[in-house]
Structure 1
Amino acid sequence: MFASVVPRLASAATPADPSLADAFSHLAADVQETRTVTLRQLGLLESVALNAPDTRREFFLPVPAGVPLKDAALQFDGGYVRGDGGRVTMLLSLDGSPVLARAFTQDAGSVSLNLGVDGAPRNAGFVRLGLGFASVINQNDCTDQTAIGNVLRVDPGTRLTFRFDPADVQDLRTAWSALPYAPVLAVSGRKLSSSAYDAAWRTDALLQRDGKRPVMQALPAPGDTVDLGELDVPAPLRAIPAFAALAGGGKHVLANQAELGALVALGPRTAFGPDVVVADEPLRRTLGAALDALRLQVTGTSADALAAFDTWRKRTASQLTAPLAPGEVRIAHVGGRALIVVGDTRGIGALAHGWRPIDVSDRVIVHRIDVEQQARGDDIPLADLGGDPRSIDVQTDASWVARFDLAAASGNGRLPAQVVLDLAASPTLSNGGATATVYFNDVMIGARLINVDGARQRLVASIPRYALARTNELRVSFRRQPDAGCQARQAYPVAVLPTSHLRLAKATPEDSFAGMAARYASSATVYVPRAYLDDALASVPRLAVLTGAAGIAPATAKFAVASAQAATQPDGPFLAADVSFDGEKNPALYSAQRLSLSSPSGDTLLDMSGLSRVGVVSVASAGGQSGIVYRSAGAAPVLTDKLQLSRGNIAVVDGSGVLKQFNTVNPDELSDEPASSTDWVTHHWARWGIPGVLVVLLLALIVLAGRARRRHQAEQRRAQDEDRA
């Protein structure tokens, strides 16, 4: 193919064109990455209301850590109502510094503000947006100023827009923080080997855990149609046929390997613009061949251009094509972007949240790593579970929250049993009291009145088993009695101290989604059929969603491909995606669009056909092991991060999340205390024994009273006989 091209190029070669060599030297060097981060992307799906008389909220908008920002601007969108009148004010701050205030005088209106944002690097990796809303109906009245008609609304479309230079991204930690909301995860093709598939789903799951929405993309091949968009090819490079063929933009069919090499060099995001690459051997070999073909075309131009191409290839493209050491993760700067390149599953552990802060190099090699740090005692500090010990200023009410996966707070046959909170509250001018109410997944588990003397106080609350879920939220709500009289409203601190912790206890997890999340903390094996490897672009996101919803840690789980010929039996807690086991006991059967549900006793609870584009997730057992099984029939649904498995043991799901959840577990198994052989005895003793004892005591008292009466009568007769004598 290339032998016919090179001679024609050589015969038509002109004297060395320095602009062509410069084009290779500066290829993609001046490309700037543009990002837009909205509150909706951060999980704020509905508007947030700030109520009178005084409410403050903060939002954290992620930016690349330690990288200077350019043309950064904040667009705040919202609205307000002022039905109760009075003085109404909004205060907006950035990184703790007040930057804008607005007083609202109309009964209602919209708020649309555009503010410039300082481009200084943020080492913490976020811009902190603070909002304050205050309302005073009448400052001359010594009454409650609460006004339900004065509200500020924050729209989820509020956004931060900025640009940055990818060349400033020099380490893996920064590269991860610079990933867009929907990063492109590139693989070598639609069909993957077992090892490449294993690395792909784990990487996808890690991205989802960090709130990303990864998009799968396969390396294009000659003959594929790619969308070049409005690709800008530098004029000097158009002297090379491969670059000239791409200059038209729009839809284009790759004619040969050289065009693939030019496509990788230019890096249009719409065609092949990865942010994370699973660099298996087929991908590296294909890219190497494409760049070799492109080099053949450059050879016919000029010696200077060839030298510049070789320099560019060694400096940039070789980071994608060079073999990776076992456990290696590195950065590549190709196509004007900083890419994260992973090779095998061992290296993925370095990208896990717990170890990412030390990835301050452009290349790390993982030899051994305990990602989940499972060596825990019976007490886990709440600080290790996302609950930052701190002081909170409370005027009337405020909350402290810790969110964590059940897998992070269980394992080795132990489950969360108690929340131990060490609290302290300062006195107020009017000596008003303070209360603390503890909620676990919105279930109130404890409350107490706090002494406002600044001393440490301990609140211990038991966690009922029914309150446990795959993902958990511990919330402590503080309330203070407002100051009396006409003095200005003030906030007083309440502290959650660092000694607060979660106490674990020995327990047997139920056969439910929450129980499986606890089992997965110790071990988990993910099973997929061979067909999943042949359709990686569709099945990798599905598997990543399922493991995330089930509570499986992607960096520590084992992975296995089930064979259709040989019988498969799990050797521990498992998640099976479209895989059947011999002797499987499953309360849900789904095949040929027909769903059947049964109770533990074998009674049929539901039998329905005609379902389409849904999947069924259920807790089953096989070979003496428990696990979660996913089944789909016909056209499989496109699962998204909206899938959240909480309680129960069966869920019918589709792209919108859980359609219906069932719980076929015996209610006795859901009680807070396990049943024992003495339950019947103690139960019936309490019902019949206590009244029986009371009857016996009453009869004994009657007998004793009769004896005492007869004794008294005998003594009286004896005394009368003595008097007569």
Structure 2
Amino acid sequence: MKSSVAIHTGALSAFACGVSLLALMPTFALAADSPLTQAINRLTADTRQEREIRLSDLGIDAPIILGSTDSRRELYLPVPAGVPLTDASLNFDASYLNGEGGRNTLMLSLDGYPVSAQGLSEPQGNASAILGVDKKARDSGSVRLGVAWSSIVSRVLCEDERAIGNVLRIEPDTRLTYSYDASLLQDVGAAWTALPGKPGIMVAPGTVSAESYDAAWRLGVALERIGKHARILPFPALQDSVDLSGLRIPAELLAIPAFASLNGKGSQVLANPAQIGALLMLGQTPNVQADLAINDPQLLKAVNDALDALQSQIQGLDASAVNAFTQWRAQHINAGLAATGTDNVRLALLGTRPVLMIAPQATGKALALFSSAWNSLARSRQLTVSEAQLPLSADGRVALSRLGGNPGAIDVLAKSDWSTSFPLGSVAYDGRLPVKAVIDVSAAPGASDTDPVASLFLNDYLIGAQQLVANGEKQRIEARIPRYALGSTNVLRVSFQRQPVSDRCLETPQAFPVSVLPTSHIVLEKTTLGDDFSGMAARFAMDTQIFVPQAYLEHPASSLPQVISVANAAGVSPLRANLNVSADPKNSVTPDKPFLAFELPIKDSKESVLVDDQGRLRVNHKDQLLLDVHPLNHLASLQVVDAGSQHGLVYRTLGADAPRFAKQVLLNRGDVAILGDNGTLTTFDTQDPSGSQLIDNEEPKGLDAWRTPSLLWLIPGGILLVLILLLAGRNARRNRQ
């Protein structure tokens, strides 16, 4: 009996041990994976992306100054729409001056919710703060930072509490840092709006095709139009130098020769394709951190060749790890590069980063799709865009809401501004130019009997102003747009000013709302286009030929930034332009429509600005030499020329090195501009060096002003005649008496 019990107990123990072993089999199977396989699996599962966006990335290069009694500013920092954020924080970098004492208060809010308030009473000091940002997904695609600054100096009877010595200074280094799961980013429209301030455009290595070059400059100009500055990233090639500073390589991957050779510091020259594949797999160097990519066969071949070489090294080292690498490649590379067709726009992973893959032939349609008119419909990871166009105005009126201006109400205590900006090429077409601004506003009544004033500015020129009837009803302000105020890029600003009132300090001054209404618009009319930059921007709005030499395609990293910056400044429409590549830079090109030419001779053209390879610059006006200077370098000239029956712009580099545009190029009135690293250095008009054509035709000229009789002389003459008649009547009455 005891023996049977012992046997039964032993069987149960063996069974329990077997069950325990079965339960542990997944653990043993996992442990059976090699360290290299486990490291690759971790890379496959890691889709976490870290981002940092600064105010300087949004084009805010100078500090923002807030003063007066009550100043408020809202700043929008882009994030992926509809995707939760992790480890998000906002570093508010600011300082203050308190020269006149009083009570200073700084309040910060995120998405409308107050999160920080502090009193600042020292003569000067630090006003910086670190704000935690909640994880919630934002459908708007931005984190809204609100800054409210209040400075009050108590004076007798409240004659004036404004203090010019009490100001807040917000630095461009203010930044939002966050991370998110790239696998949760689901549609191409959200990916477009979430692009960083300096997005990278990846192109094929070496000499790119004309189709890819054409697509890249169009993308770059479209990004400039929404306030972003593109970086051109040719895919790494052999003999390229890469910066390995800060590169973090998992220890298990160092067994692979390609990864081991990259485990250094500083710069290193790429010696074999497997190293390129390793860089793409890690995704930490700037060379592979793209946000958009031109999906052409040359780029796809370069990516596959690099990964094939890396896979060969893994195969020779650890055959069991090849399956893990194949899974990584299928999820992080092949899923994005497998799109077929010529009209595809796809959101995919390229290595570790989410990238918008755009077929060259679909670029124009994709840009129309990403515009404000259709972007809300781009709700898929892959789209086939058969057609997408922007609507044109048929009656010569363009609503400001279509140009990016958001109608709505703002509260005004003392002074507030509403503004919108637009390139001239986005509104001018068919020979039409903006000739009138029509702004519909309404204002609520305030405590003061003094009505608010609305002033209208175009490119900081005051073109109209009106005192408003503060009764909440619509009031229209119409202002003629003078030709000299137009530029290739225009900023229309409405400035509202109220008189703050306090009843002998018994009441606190309050802000009252004013609104810019959706019916506000600009009026276009057909007019004679001038031979200057604004006239060329109007011509470029419809159709343009862009001429570049073949050498530009051989060096896209250096030439594309020039083409993008100049085309954007000139007002070239990325939707209505054609690229022409000249194989021989010495042969003259013959344009048959408005054109923009880079470093090429133009047939039948006479240039006022002459440039040679030694950096010599000559500027002529008719038969007069205005300027002759040399040598110059890191400069370029841009001028309007006539070529037979066509008008266009010609860009030429001064000296051996072209400028590297760190700031946006802006073109004002004139037909010649000298460009440098910081944008436009000077603009002048060779057809009108004295500026006399700025004066209206009806104004008297020179000595004619003394010879031409003016009706103003009739005023004192009429007054004298009335006095004589009165005197004569008085004498007549005296004689009768």
**Which residue of structure 2 lines up, in the alignment, with residue 366 of structure 1?**
385
AA matched with 2:462: M
Q: Given that residues 347 and 365 in structure 1 are in contact (C-alpha distance below 8 angstroms), is that contact kept between their aligned partners in structure 2?
A: no
Q: What letter matches 1:455 in structure 2?
A: E
Q: Look up the match of 2:179.
A: 163
More displaced 10-residue stretch of structure 1: 265-274 or 461-470: 265-274
Of 481-490 and 215-224, more deviation after overlay is shown by: 215-224
Aligned equivalents of 1:689, 1:225: Cα separation in 2? 74
Between the aligned partners of 1:693 and 1:252, the Cα distance in structure 2 is: 85
Aligned counterparts of 2:264 and 2:691: Cα–Cα separation in 1: 69
Q: 1:541 aligns with which of 556, 561, 581?
A: 561
Structure 1's 333 and 448: CA in aligned 2 closer, same or farther, altered over 3 A?
A: same
Match of 1:643 among 665, 676, 685: 665
1 CA distance for matches of 2:617 and 2:266?
46
Alignment-derived partner of residue 685 in structure 2: 663
Instruction: Measure the CA separation in 2 of the matches of 1:45 and 1:397.
Output: 23
Q: Is the contact made by 1:328 and 1:344 (CA closer than 8 Å) also made in structure 2?
A: no
The answer for the alignment partner of 1:332 in structure 2 is 348
Match of 1:522 in 2: 542
Aligned partner letter, 2:556: A
* Residue 617 of structure 1: how far off its partner (Å): 0.7
User: Any stretches of 5+ residues in structure 1 without a counterpart?
Assistant: 1-14, 695-725
Question: What is the alpha-carbon root mean square deviation over aligned residues?
Answer: 3.1
User: Contact 1:396/1:481 (CA < 8 Å) preserved in 2?
Assistant: yes
Equivalent residue in structure 2 for 1:624, among 621, 645, 648: 645
Confirm or deny: 8 A CA contact 2:342 2:361 kept in the other structure: no
Deviations 1:146-198 (A, max 9, x none): 12222222222222222222222222223233433333322222321211211
Amino acid paired to 1:176: W
- Alignment of 1:77 with 2:93, yes or no, is yes
2:483 counterpart of 1:465: yes
- Once the two structures are superposed, the pairs formed by residues 312-711 of structure 1 within 5 Å of their partners are 312-319=328-335, 321-322=337-338, 324-351=340-367, 352-354=370-372, 355-370=374-389, 372-486=390-504, 487-564=507-584, 567-591=588-612, 592-599=614-621, 601-632=622-653, 633-666=655-688, 670-671=693-694, 687=708
For residues 222-371 of structure 1, the aligned pairs below 5 Å read: 222-247=238-263, 251-300=267-316, 304-319=320-335, 321-322=337-338, 324-351=340-367, 352-354=370-372, 355-370=374-389
Pair 1:127–1:692, CA change in 2 (3 A) = closer
Per-residue CA deviations over 1:219-248 (Å, capped at 9, x if unaligned) read 223454433334344444445444444455
- Tell me, in whole angstroms, the C-alpha distance in 2 between the residues paired with 1:524 and 1:504: 20
CA–CA separation in structure 2 for the residues paired with 1:638 and 1:171: 34
- Name the CA distance, whole Å, in 2 between partners of 1:62 and 1:403: 19
- Given the alignment of the two structures, is residue 127 of structure 1 paired with residue 147 of structure 2, yes or no? no
Equivalent residue number for residue 55 of structure 2: 39
Following superposition, the deviation at residue 563 of structure 1 comes to 3.8
Give, in angstroms, the shift of residue 204 of structure 1. Answer: 2.5
2-side partners of 1:221 and 1:41: how far apart? 29
- Matched-pair contact (CA < 8 Å) for 1:668–1:675: no
3-state DSSP class of the match of 1:179? Answer: coil
Q: How has the CA–CA distance of structure 1 residues 268 and 110 changed in structure 2, closer, same or farther, with 3 Å as cutoff?
A: closer
CA shift in 2, pair 1:688/1:639, >3 Å: same
Tell me the distance in 1 between the aligned counterparts of 2:377 and 2:84: 21
> 1:572 is matched by which residue type in structure 2?
K
- Equivalent-residue separation in structure 1 for 2:339 and 2:235 (angstroms): 17
Residues 179-258 of structure 1: pairs in structure 2 closer than 5 A: 179-247=195-263, 251-258=267-274
| Alpha-carbon contact 1:28-1:266 (below 8 Å) kept | no
The separation in 1 between residues aligned to 2:166 and 2:267, in whole angstroms, is: 53
The 3 A distance-change label for structure 1 pair 640 and 40 is closer
Give the C-alpha shift of residue 619 in structure 1: 0.8
Q: CA deviation at 1:516?
A: 1.0
Q: Identify which range, 590-599 or 308-317, moves more after superposition.
A: 308-317
1:231–1:456 distance in 2 versus 1, CA, 3 Å: closer
Change (3 A) 1:345 1:139: farther
Give SS of 1:141's match.
helix
The alpha-carbon distance between structure 1 residues 223 and 663, as it changes in their structure 2 partners (threshold 3 A), is closer
Cα distance between partner residues in 1 of 2:443 and 2:241: 65
- Aligned equivalents of 1:490 and 1:223: distance in 2? 66
Q: Distance in 2 between matches of 1:392 and 1:323?
A: 47
SS at match of 2:149: strand
1:250–1:590 CA distance, 2 compared to 1 (3 A): closer
- CA change 1:491–1:277 in 2 (3 A) is same
Residues 480, 223 of structure 1: alpha-carbon distance in 2 compared, 3 angstrom cutoff: closer
Using the TM superposition, give the Cα deviation of residue 459 of structure 1 relative to its aligned residue in structure 2, in angstroms: 1.8
Q: Kindly state the Cα deviation for residue 540 of structure 1 after the two structures are TM-superposed.
A: 0.9
* Pair 1:118–1:140, CA change in 2 (3 A): farther
Q: State the SS of the aligned residue for 1:515.
A: helix
Percent of pairs with identical residues: 39
Q: Normalising by structure 1, report the TM-score.
A: 0.86
CA shift for structure 1 position 507: 0.6
Larger mean Cα displacement after TM superposition, 29-38 or 552-561: 29-38
Q: 1:134 to 1:243 in 2, by over 3 A?
A: closer
Deviation string 1:582-641 (CA, Å, 9 cap, x unpaired) is: 111222111132222122x33322222322221111111112111111011422222333
Superimposed CA distance per residue, residues 70-117 of structure 1 (whole angstroms, 9 cap, x where no aligned partner): 111122222222222222211111111111111122222222211211
Q: 1:258 to 1:54 in 2, by over 3 A?
A: closer
Equivalent AA in structure 1 for residue 676 of structure 2: D
The amino acid that maps onto 1:285 is: K
Q: Return the offset for 1:295.
A: 3.2
Structure 1 pair 85/230, CA: closer, same or farther in 2 (3 Å)? closer
Structure-2-length-normalised TM-score: 0.85
SS state at 1:205 partner: helix
2:123 to 78, 93, 107: 107
Mapped contact 2:635–2:658 kept (Cα < 8 A): yes
Question: Deviation of residue 267 (structure 1)?
Answer: 2.2
CA apart distance, 1:686: 10
Cα distance in 2, alignment partners of residues 691 and 271 from structure 1: 71
- Structure 1 residues 505 and 670 mapped into 2: Cα distance closer, same or farther (>3 Å)? farther
Whole-angstrom distance in 2 between the partners of 1:28 and 1:306: 13
Aligned length: 675
Equivalent in the alignment of 1:711: none
- 1:723 is matched with none
- Contact 2:484/2:694, CA 8 A, preserved across alignment: yes
In the alignment, which residue of structure 2 is the partner of 1:703? none
Which SS does the other structure have where 1:185 is aligned?
Answer: strand
In structure 1, distance between residues paired with 2:517 and 2:446:
20
The code of the aligned residue for 2:205 comes to G
The residue type paired with residue 534 of structure 1 is E
CA 1:455–1:204: 2 relative to 1, 3 Å: closer
CA distance in 1, matches of 2:314, 2:261: 14
Q: Residue type matched to 1:634 in 2?
A: A
Change (3 A) 1:316 1:446: same
8 Å CA contact 2:502–2:508 kept in 1: the answer is: no
**Cα distance in 1 for residues equivalent to 2:119 and 2:357:** 51
User: Given the superposition, is the C-alpha separation of residues 344 and 429 from structure 1 closer, same or farther in structure 2, using an over 3 Å criterion?
Assistant: same
C-alpha change, 1:206 and 1:144, in structure 2 (3 Å) is same
Supply the AA of the counterpart residue of 2:467.
L
